[in-house]
Structure 1
Amino acid sequence: MRPLTHTRRIALMLTAGATALAGLTLIPGSATAAEVPVGNGGYSDERPAGTVGPLDSAGNPVTPQLTDAVADQPVPTNDWWTSLVFKRYADIPHSQPMYGHPLSYRAVASGLEVGYQTQPNVDGAYYNFPHQADLTLGVAGLDSPDTKADGWSDWTVTPYWEDAGHTFRATIGHGSPYVYAEGTGGNAEITTAGSVEVFADEGSTLGITVNGRDYALFAPSGSGWNVSGTTISSDLGGEEYYSVAVLPDQGALDLYAQYAYSFVTGSVVDWDYDESAGQVSATYTLETEAREGDETGTIQALYPHQWEYATDELTDYEYVSPRGVMRVRDGNSFTTRQDVTGVLPALPQSDGVDQAQLATFVNEVAADAEIGFGDTYWSGKQFGRLAQVVPIADQIGETEARDTLLAAMKAGFEEWFTVGGPAEFSYDSDWKTLTGYPASYGSDQELNDHHFHYSYFVFAAATIASYDPAWAEESAWGGMVEELIADAANPARDDDRYPFLRGFDVYAGHSWAAGHQGFEAGNNQESSSESVNLSAGLIMWGEATGDTELRDLGVYLLTTESESIRQYWFDGDEENFPADYQHNTVGMVWSNGASHSTWWTGNPEEIHGINVLPVTGASLHLARDKDAIIRNLEELVEENGGPPVEWKEILWEFQALADPAAARAAYDGDGGGTYEPEAGESWAHVYHWIYTLDAIGAPDTSVTADSPTAAAFSDGTTTTYAAHNYGDTEQTVTFSDGTSLTVPPGSSASTTG
């Protein structure tokens, strides 16, 4: 189904409106700032004194660059095209390169540059398909001082140019080989970046080759094109529209001409979680309008993570992209269908752990259970660290430690969710975003990483909700959790306070981290695993609070991004990285390629580990491709000249998803439990993870279930089935091999069938 407006968002909007009518609560020390109450907590409508919001690179405040038609709409900041709205550099008022694939684009004063790069640059740790303009689309005489966004949908956007005598707008999108152009004030004008070879001249349709790439230009019927050197123009027969398409080969001209006047006006993804089948489907639809005739079809190019699971017929045409081969669909829509790998609050109880040793580790965490308030990221990691230990403490009967951990987490949340203390959240009405202060890593100035930071908050809040539902009520502290969810992953398209899915790119299949997309390489994402952490948090929060809309959103996001990670970070099929690229895993995916690196270090351990942490019961999806895990770690050892030194415990946990015995041997042989682990980890969790998987075997992701919080494990001879029931009545979980497991309310259970 298409996700509906989230009812809790409506309730919170009404609460904020009632507050405005009744009179705002002034924050001490501020003459203008006001607290917006949300349940027992709230956020400020202004930033704390001495802090900043979005800035350009020179330190000047920036606001979204939108036309009047969309000026009041929440803009999805972290996307493939958001340099259109967030002008990171004052001397670049148009855009950075934007990579839609197969085409790349850049807005310039004279219109829209368009290119199709088919040859990668490979340089050590990096590979990229840089933007290279083949054509610049516009109208004659256009010299716009800037470019703004005039509209957008789930994966398309419409840039807009205007000067004293001209206007120009172009609709572009992921997977679309077309650009749909409209202009006034002059003839259509296309400038080429090289000599023009005409291979077809059929009046209103012109086939050309520029820089070795084949394009088709479509003017309204009855008009034609004039080629003069590197300038191609048309009076459009008095009309104001034309389209351009990049062709997979010249033989595709007739097919592409069929849809030349079927202009895309929007794009929508609809997802459906079939709980009983353990599968999620997603339908990707382009909305169109016939500018002439009655044809409303179109063409789409699918990424590997889409076409491998597509249920619709595809053509034999293909494109090159930084993600591998894109395959062509003749039609307005296509549907993918994938098995769902479940999440668990903790691995199941087993006889593989030493209860006394585990209890010691658990109580060590409880003895130092306190949330600091440095910033949203590092506070978040502290929330995550404690949340991972809570169900382990419960599992082994250490209830006092469990309750200590829960109390520390509640206290931390309540401080963050109360305005005026050392930490708080502030809503920016210009950018329609909620930012936590203290901020870090550009979460304030660049709108970066909200999905990373808030993933830990949501995951930890779901843990509290499973033990104390009253705390998670909207009228208590759950309302503020929902605010964080709405900022990072709003399921509603018609919310006027937060954009739909701020950072998740539904067509690319993963999130983007940069809020401004202010790079020549486009946007980027480093820690895909922290993005998955948010999706898992949505599943668990939705289950714990009975919100199936958020749960199903989490299932769709996690399942989709899991395959993107396998394909584009780990090259699971060994087909998507360039043939001469010497790495089998990357630390960062960029719009135009990827890099075997991180933002802060070149150490192999961090490069290989940044897309693993935090290790939780949501990390089971990585076991879908055990061979990729093994290749990943073999390369790490080769690069490092031996076993890992940094983040050893994270990498052992990763290894345990494919080879638990080897992970336990590494833990036992290299001082596991004797040094300070990574900041978001604890020995209680590491020990429990490694020794449990050694006892029950690695995740068996070929076995699915009719619950999103269930999983199977196999040691080669015995299968262990585990599930968690967040509800208040007994639940029977059925696995795809026919095994059934009865789970008491509010509990975990497991069986060997």
Structure 2
Amino acid sequence: MTVRRVTTLLASVVVLAGCTQPADGGASTEEPTTAPAVDATAANLPTTSGPFDGEIAVADGVLPPTNSWLAPAVFAPADRPVFTGTLSVRLRADGLGLGFPQPQASAGILMGAHPDHVQLGLPADDYVLERVDELSGTFAYRQDGQTTGRVTVAEGWPYVAYTAAAAHSIELPASTVAAEGGASAEVGGITYRFVTDGALTGTALDLAEGGSLVVFAEPAGASESDRASLLAGAVPLAGTDVAYAVEDGRATTTLTYDTGGAPTVVASLPHQGTTTDGEPLAATVPSVHGDLALATGSEATFSVPAGEPVPALDLGNLDDAERARVSEQLRADVAAVAFDADDSYYAGKQLQRASQLYQLATGLGLTDEAAAVKEQMVGELDKWFDPEGCATRAERCFAYDDTLKGLVGMEPSYGSDEFNDHHFHYGHMLYALGVLAAEDPALAERYRPVADAVAHDIAAPEQTGSFPQRRAFDDWWGHSWASGTAPFGDGNNQESSSEAVNAWAGLALWADASGDAAMAEQARWMLANETATALEYWVAPELPAAFGHSSVGINWQGKRDFATFFDADPSAVVGIQLIPMSPTHAAYLAQEPEAVQAMVEAAVPDGNPAGRPLVDYVIMAQALTDPDRAAAMLERLPAEQVDNGNSMSYLTAFVLGQD
């Protein structure tokens, strides 16, 4: 029998002495233990527990889906909705509510909130996530510990399916009338269809054991042919599968919906341009991310341009005077290198900053400076990638969280101990490690055990006993989700699209250096999709005029904001889509020069960078469209405003090198 797991540390697991301090602040006397084998290639890391102490609604054997579109329903006893891309679903212990979000725009906000239109009461007192795969999840509803029914939801599938595990009755909305396939009801101006093999008496639906109910909403303007296709496609869903390939300059994705051979209907996001094995519908589904196309079929394929991670700047455009200027600044920056950040985010940024200095010194022929910064990097990497690091200290190390099932870098920051932003933090580290290990294979062998575990934490190609599959990356959306437990009413979210791109670039560099061809291909597939969606939904999105901005700061499943979590200044909103502005970022941002220029104008309308957060990255973006203006802005930039993940020498080389 499965049970809802309460996330308290089990008595048989000893809290890690170096990573968890006693409440009175004194030294722990506990002996550290090790986690179960993290992966076949990973070291046994010390075990810790994080601050999350709520309930996790998963069945035995199902890993908690942190950073997932399903996270709100799994970690939220407050009944927060999940968004399938078409419908929104609010699961409750005794039922669920369905809705068909309708986007509304206002200044800086595009809202597609969940409407609790259709309430289905179920004979249950709790639920657990019983099954999860690439695009779908099945929740088992239970009463007194016995399963009474199962609800299946899937991304890109415009239905919600319910199967009764025992005979019972469900009350449908008061406006329900008999209709082809079962019944329909108009709620909130939207027609919801109920396709069932049960018996309808008034508004009561009686289901036999094994009986099914599939619900969908009719899009506005649906033709008779559209309605017929949606009705025929309202069939149970057993699961989904995702296949991908990177070849001939394209990253191709194939999504398969297992309906046992029965026809169904799938929805496509604007960036997908999906082709299916069926026919397109005339009607579309409104969403905050644009109208979603609908088509019949159970398999959908799309592709986006592929790209390579680009670790080093091209210094070929620098003249002798510019090389001398950058070299002088580089010497000062190398002399000032310090690894003084204890937490996983800022330490990661410092490591990637140092890798940029290392590559810059190498490119300029400054061998002494390159050797000096490499030596310091290795000293820092020795700490972070020491399997026993957290057994002896409380920072600069990784431990395995046996509650949320993954690695936590100590010290945590920005909620990383609740699994926020892991791909941002660890992407910076993998990037730096990949740069050094590419030229020094001995470092790949030295750091492989922990580095592979770090890579699997954010992007395991398959679910293991320790990690979920591709934790941070959403195969349907084509981008990552940053919130671990997603305690929000608008679904999961991601703020820094550029740091997500950086994560997969860093993962690809590490996979190349360590010789993991399968991980390298997956990383490039993720990089291609994250790049395409960064442009489509953050940098150069199509937005209603009422939104009032040309770019987006935070994309949620059910909302879009011109905002950040840390600073309302437009320079911060723009800058967080640019950081850390590696050559990889320059390559894809250069594809949208008008959008990039609009972002720069929004961030620095008067051309004066002084006092603006993250403005050094905005100057680098300006260099992609107007190098002369960027150079003028650079001259006005106070040195203290250079971000701690950047350096004046790298910034200068980037700007001058765009001529």
How far did residue 64 of structure 1 move?
A: 3.1
Counterpart amino acid of residue 33 in structure 2: A
Residue 688 of structure 1 aligns with an amino acid whose one-letter code is A
Given that 1:539 and 1:555 are in contact with CA atoms closer than 8 Å, whether structure 2 keeps it comes out as yes
- The aligned residue for residue 355 of structure 1 is 323
> Of the candidates 72, 76, 80, which is equivalent to residue 96 of structure 1?
80
Task: Tell whether 2:58 aligns with 1:66.
Answer: yes
CA distance in 2, matches of 1:466, 1:247: 54
**Partner of residue 84, structure 1:** 73
Q: Offset at 1:373?
A: 4.0
* 2:128 is the counterpart of 1:148: yes
Q: What displacement does 1:442 show?
A: 0.8
Kindly report which structure 2 residues correspond to 1:180-259, keeping only aligned pairs within 5 A, or say none.
180-192=161-173, 196=175, 198=177, 201-202=179-180, 204-220=181-197, 223-227=198-202, 232-236=203-207, 239-248=210-219, 249=222, 251=224, 252-259=226-233
Q: Alpha carbons of 1:545 and 1:424: their partners in 2 closer, same or farther (altered >3 Å)?
A: closer
1:111 aligned onto 2:85: no
Higher mean Cα deviation, 449-458 or 177-186?
Answer: 177-186
SS of the counterpart of 2:560? strand
TM-score (ref. length: structure 1): 0.78
Matching of residues 454-493 of structure 1 within 5 Å: 454-473=426-445, 476-493=446-463
The answer on whether the counterparts of 2:98 and 2:119 sit within 8 Å (CA) in structure 1 is yes
**TM-score normalised to the size of structure 2?**
0.89
CA distance in 2, matches of 1:629, 1:326: 25
SS class of match (2:441): coil
Q: Distance in 2 between matches of 1:40 and 1:593?
A: 39
| Alignment correspondent of 2:7 | none
Aligned ranges for residues 464-613 of structure 1 at < 5 Å? Answer: 464-473=436-445, 476-493=446-463, 495-572=464-541, 574=542, 577-613=543-579
Say if 2:84 and 2:158, in contact at 8 Å, map to a contact too. Answer: no
Show structure 1 runs of 5+ residues with no match.
1-24, 56-60, 290-294, 695-753
Instruction: Output one character per residue of 1:404-441: Cα deviation in whole Å (capped at 9) or x when no partner.
Output: 11111111111122321342211122321110111111
Residue by residue, what CA displacement relative to the aligned partner does 1:194-218 show, whole Å, maximum 9, x if unpaired? Answer: x6264x623x432332211122211
Residue equivalent to 1:14:
none
Equivalents in 2 of 1:559, 1:40: separation in Å? Answer: 26
> Structure 1 residue 239: deviation in Å?
4.4
Flag the 1:424–1:355 CA change in 2: closer, same or farther, 3 A: same
AA of the residue aligned to 1:107 = L
Query: d(CA) in 1 for partners of 2:90 and 2:404?
Result: 23
Identity across matched positions, percent: 27
| Paired letter, 2:330 | V
Q: Alignment partner of 1:584: what SS?
A: coil
Deviations 1:259-289 (A, max 9, x none): 333x211122111011xx2221111111223
Q: SS of the residue aligned with 2:183? A: strand
Q: Deviations over 1:602-655 (max 9, x none)?
A: 1111111111101102202122211111122222344x7965632332101112
Secondary structure at the aligned position of 1:498 is classed as coil
Whether the 8 Å contact between 2:140 and 2:148 is mirrored in structure 1 is yes
Give how far 1:349 is off: 2.5
Partner SS, residue 624 of structure 1? coil
The answer (yes or no) to whether the contact 1:571–1:584 under 8 Å persists in 2 is: yes
Contact 1:43 1:426 in 2 (8 A): no
The answer for the alignment partner of 1:388 in structure 2 is 356
**Alignment-mate amino acid for residue 285 of structure 1:** T
Secondary structure, in 3 states, of the residue corresponding to 1:101? coil
Q: How far apart, in 2, do the equivalents of 1:498 and 1:593 lie?
A: 29
Residue in 1 that maps onto 2:658: 693
Deviations 1:61-92 (A, max 9, x none): 2463212xxx22333311111123224x6xx2
> CA–CA distance in 2 between the matches of 1:82 and 1:237?
31
SS in 2 for 1:304: coil
Distance between the aligned counterparts of 2:275 and 2:357, measured in 1?
Answer: 36
Shift of 1:309: 8.2
Runs of 4+ in 1 over 6 A off after TM superposition: 25-29, 36-41, 308-312
Residue-pair matches, total: 621
Q: Please say if 1:264 is aligned against 2:232.
A: no
Partners in 1 of 2:241 and 2:626 — Cα distance? 40
Distance of aligned partners of 1:593 and 1:363 in 2 relative to their CA distance in 1, 3 Å threshold: same
- Summarize the Cα distance change of 1:644–1:529 in structure 2 as closer, same or farther, 3 Å threshold: farther
1:306-328 Cα distance to aligned partner (Å, 9 max, x none) = 12788986332210011110001
Post-superposition CA distance 1:664-695 (Å, at most 9, x none): 23224x147x444111000111011111112x
Question: Partners of 2:51 and 2:17 in 1: how far apart?
Answer: 24
Alignment-mate amino acid for residue 196 of structure 1: S
Within a 5 Å distance, the mapping from 1:446-461 to structure 2 comes to 446-461=418-433
Give the conservation status (yes or no) of the 8 Å contact 1:361–1:683: yes
Contact 2:623/2:655, CA 8 A, preserved across alignment: yes
Contact 1:312/1:334 (<8 A) preserved: no
Distance in 2 (CA, whole Å) between partners of 1:43 and 1:414 is: 16
Equivalent position amino acid for 1:201 in 2: A
User: What code does the residue aligned with 2:182 have?
Assistant: T
| Match in the other structure for 1:13 | none
Q: Supply the AA of the counterpart residue of 1:246.
A: A
* Larger displacement relative to structure 2 (160-169 or 501-510): 160-169
* Distance in 2 separating the partners of 1:174 and 1:154: 9
Residue 590 of structure 2 aligns to a residue whose secondary structure is helix
CA contact (8 A) 2:361 2:369 kept: yes
Q: Which runs of 5+ in 2 are unaligned?
A: 1-15, 19-26
Amino acid across the alignment from 1:272: A
Indicate if the aligned counterparts of 1:63 and 1:430 stay in contact, CA closer than 8 A.
Answer: no
Q: Which amino acid aligns with 2:142?
A: E
Is 1:160 paired with 2:140? yes
Q: What is the distance in 1 between the residues matched to 2:290 and 2:41?
A: 49
Aligned partners of 2:425, 2:98: CA distance in 1, in Å? 35
Aligned pair partner of 1:171 in 133, 139, 152: 152
1:11 maps to which residue? none
Considering only aligned residues, what root-mean-square deviation do their CA atoms show, in Å? Answer: 2.6
Match of 2:624 among 657, 666, 673: 657
The CA deviation string for residues 104-159 of structure 1, in whole angstroms up to 9 with x for no partner, is 01012331211002241x343222111111112344xx251x33211111121112
Distance 2:253 2:610 in 1: 39
Q: CA deviation at 1:26?
A: 10
Q: Kindly indicate whether the alpha-carbon contact (under 8 Å) linking 1:76 and 1:501 is maintained by their aligned counterparts in 2.
A: no
Structure 1 residue matching 2:324: 3-state secondary structure? helix
Moved more, 525-534 or 155-164: 155-164
* 1:330 equivalenced with 2:296 (yes/no): yes
Q: Distance in 1 between matches of 2:625 and 2:579?
A: 16
Partner of 1:130: 113
